Amino acid sequence: MNHVFPFLYPMQYNPINKFIREGLMTKADLIEKMAVASGCTKACAGKARDGAIEAITKAVKKGDKVALVGFGSFSLSKRKARTGRNPQTGATIKIAAKKLPKFSAGKAFKDAVNK
């Protein structure tokens, strides 16, 4: 349940970053790592991150597939309308169709994680 309550993650002290949560990378952590890797400011890295997420979101919403070779691909998955049951009453209910974002990890990303 730690994914629901991120403040329950154990904290470590690091003189540069103050406190770091183990097992959780926050938006600020990602922006900091992007800034260090690219040699630009945190503000610049933050704008780049926001721009990338916005571009991916717009493309997937439109129905396009976004492929980042080596990392993975983002696509849109469609779920048909169906009938279900209310677990409390047992009554039949209609569940509306919906669109869901989908991520498929690329081979290089899978290999890096499994090393």
Q: Where in the chain is the domain with CATH 4.10.520.10?
A: 64-115
Handedness of CA 28, 29, 33, 36 (dihedral sign): positive
Measure the CA–CA gap between 55 and 113, rounded to whole angstroms. 26
Q: What is the pLDDT of residue 109?
A: 94
| Per-residue pLDDT, 15 | 53
pLDDT of res. 93: 95
Instruction: List all residues 6 or more positions away from 78 whose beta carbon is below 8 Å from its beta carbon.
Output: 97, 98, 99, 100
pLDDT digits (tens, 9 = 90+) for 5-62: 555 555 555 555 555 566 788 899 899 999 999 999 999 999 999 999 999 999 999 9
Neighbour tally for 57: CB within 10 Å:
13
pTM above 0.75?
A: no
Residue 1 in this model has a pLDDT that exceeds 50: no
**Amino acid letter for position 72:** G
pLDDT of residue 23: 73
pLDDT digits (tens, 9 = 90+) for 59-105: 999 999 999 999 999 999 999 999 999 999 999 999 999 999 999 99
The three-state secondary structure class of 109 is helix
**CA–CA distance, 14 with 9 (Å, rounded to integer):** 15
Are 11 and 20 a contacting pair, CB within 8 Å?
Answer: yes
Give the CATH fold of the 64-115 domain: HU Protein; Chain A (4.10.520)
What pLDDT shows up at residue 24? Answer: 80
